[in-house]
Amino acid sequence: MADTARTVIIEEHGGPEVLRVVEREVGEPGPGEIRIRHEACGLNFIDCYQRSGLYPMQLPQALGMEASGVVEAVGEGVTHLSAGDRAAYAALPPGAYCEARVMPAAQVCRLPDAIPFDEGAAMMLKGLTVQYLFHRTTPLKAGDTVLFHAAAGGVGLIACQWAKSEGIRLIGTAGSDEKCALALEHGADACINYATEDWAARVRELTDGAGVDVVMDSVGKATFEGSLDCLKPLGMMISFGNASGAVEAFNLGILGQKGSLKVTRPTLFTHIADHAACQEMAGMLFGKVVSGDVKIRIGQRFPLEEVAEAHRALEARRTTGQTILTLS
């Protein structure tokens, strides 16, 4: 086993130019840890938030929240994984942009043989996010209607398929006709081009004025207020990201005025903090993928050395589906 691994770190917060590829010592796993050699790494908006300082971190810091690969060694007390197992994860602490690492084992999941490594790396953070949005945040049942912003993104394309597989009507938004077509191909009932249409008015048309049961919004500042206007009375607003900036402070009384609405700001890492819950969530995700209900679309691949360009593409909205970093 190599003693060092190429690893992406930051030594200061800033733009993509602060990303550096260095050789780092890997080490051996301690109690509750594994050593994993990666086959591919996933790219997510949270990586950009951490790099930029929106989510401040102690520096220097390795980046990346998800990857797949082969377990090389396990520490004392690890019973759900063994050396040689195929595995994938979305987990804290950051550090997945690398060839190999030692990390806590609890949120690492055995990857079924039927799922390729590149899909495993691309699907964990986004797929587990969709799982908690549809199953752990507010009750949803067949026949309900969801408004999903950024429906052609990595989370969105999984959500479109997930909703269809469970009989939930998903209305998406996206920034171009091409992206709307992609969402429709993946199971969205309708998709609104927010660049050319008044999306909030169009949602009211599509629901005959009733509004939707739930809004799932990773965009943040730009869509928050309009999203509240799209909800039915007693509807749920799930704000789970800040792609356009953080949601500004607002008067809670507005929720009452608009129909006793509910708002929540969940994070994936709260939901997967419990080992058993994480493994159960991953099992459901793997089942959706193996059955064909959810297909993982990898739209972009960048070598590890081109991680800065990968961040630029993500932040400029030049990506569709999932983006991965390759290591070969």
Whole-prediction pTM value?
A: 0.93
* DSSP track, 115-134: S-HHHHHHHHHHHHHHHHHH
Summarised one tens digit per residue, pLDDT across range 146-169 is 999 999 988 999 999 999 999 999
pLDDT at 321: 79
**AA identity, residue 176:** S
Summarised one tens digit per residue, pLDDT across range 101-125 is 999 999 999 999 999 999 999 999 9
Residue 2 has pLDDT above 80, yes or no: no
Q: Rounded to an integer, what distance in angstroms lies between the CA atom of residue 115 and that of residue 96? A: 19
Query: Binning pLDDT at 50, 70 and 90, where does residue 221 land?
Result: confident
The full set of domains in the chain, from first to last, is 4-125+269-326 (3.90.180.10), 138-265 (3.40.50.720)
- Segment 65-86 shows an average pLDDT of 98
**Which is nearest to 279 in space by CA: 88, 134, 148, 133?**
88
Question: What would you measure as the largest C-alpha separation in the chain, in angstroms?
Answer: 62
**Which is nearest to 226 in space by CA: 254, 253, 190, 268?**
254
Q: What is the DSSP letter of 326?
A: E
Summarised one tens digit per residue, pLDDT across range 224-265 is 999 999 999 999 999 998 777 788 888 999 999 999 999 999
The pair of three-digit structure tokens given for residue 264, joined into one six-digit string: 């929540």
- Segment 20-37 shows an average pLDDT of 98
Query: Binning pLDDT at 50, 70 and 90, where does residue 38 land?
Result: very high
Pairing type for strands 33-42 and 322-326 reads antiparallel
The pair of three-digit structure tokens given for residue 198, joined into one six-digit string: 């008044």
CA triplet 177, 205, 198: central angle to 5 degrees?
Answer: 50
Do 125 and 109 form a contact (C-beta atoms < 8 A)?
no
Percent of the chain with pLDDT over 90: 89
Secondary structure of residue 252 in the 3-state scheme: coil
**Which is nearest to 242 in space by CA: 226, 225, 265?**
265
Task: Write the CB contacts of 319 (distance below 8 Å, at least 6 apart in sequence).
Answer: 153, 154, 299, 300, 313
Q: Rounded to an integer, what distance in angstroms lies between the CA atom of residue 251 and that of residue 261? A: 13
**AA identity, residue 117:** F
* DSSP track, 255-280: HHHTTS-EEE---HHHHTSSHHHHHH
**CA atoms 12, 58, 222, 159: torsion sign:** positive
Do 109 and 91 form a contact (C-beta atoms < 8 A)?
no
Summarised one tens digit per residue, pLDDT across range 156-204 is 999 999 999 999 999 999 999 999 999 999 999 999 999 999 999 999 9
**Residue 290 belongs to what H/E stretch?**
helix 275-291
Do 261 and 237 form a contact (C-beta atoms < 8 A)?
yes
pLDDT at 1: 59
SS3 of 142-210: the string is CCCEEEECCCCEHHHHHHHHHHHHCCCEEEEEECCHHHHHHHHHCCCCEEEECCCCCHHHHHHHHCCCC
